[in-house]
Structure 1
Amino acid sequence: MPEGLPFKLSDYLELVDWTGRAIREDKRGFIAESLPPILTRLNISGQQWQQLARQFEKQFRCFAGQRSSFEKVRDYFQLSRTPPNLLAT
């Protein structure tokens, strides 16, 4: 079995975006036709996305997610403060 996806990342993201637009409006994952492509919405280039994906663990050593999730992790592990090196969304 080949390692990884058998096509370019930009093609994969376009496929994911297209799939979200093809899903019915009343279903989870639906992307409205009026929204721009995913990388445009994120305001990053394909090159920036690839760099982030390849170096994610180097840049964000602890957690990534919503701030409320960080607070739950802090409480679960009984930490005195929210962990450093976070990517808050």
Structure 2
Amino acid sequence: MGLYLAVLYNVGAGVEKDDLVSLYWFDRAVDNHCKAAKQDRDGIFNAYKNNFTAEEFYDIMSNLSRRCTSGDEDIPRDAKKAEYWRRVAEDN
């Protein structure tokens, strides 16, 4: 399911296009051993990392962490992923 949601958010099919939500769902698909999702997840992640300043990247990843903490209509509450994205933000 994660891969399909990732693609929908990545292209904006039936939902508003949102690369950050797409990153979350591609990452969840990779966690579920979907090898096809890894390249897309890494591509979105690297685009954020390479096209934003360190401060902007920190803010973006922190935002993803907060969305995982509270949950919303696009990203479910996910404490494990909230912690993961918080560490990504702080490590970069």
If the length of structure 2 is used for normalisation, what is the TM-score?
0.27
Higher strand share: 1
If the length of structure 1 is used for normalisation, what is the TM-score?
0.28
Higher helix share: 2
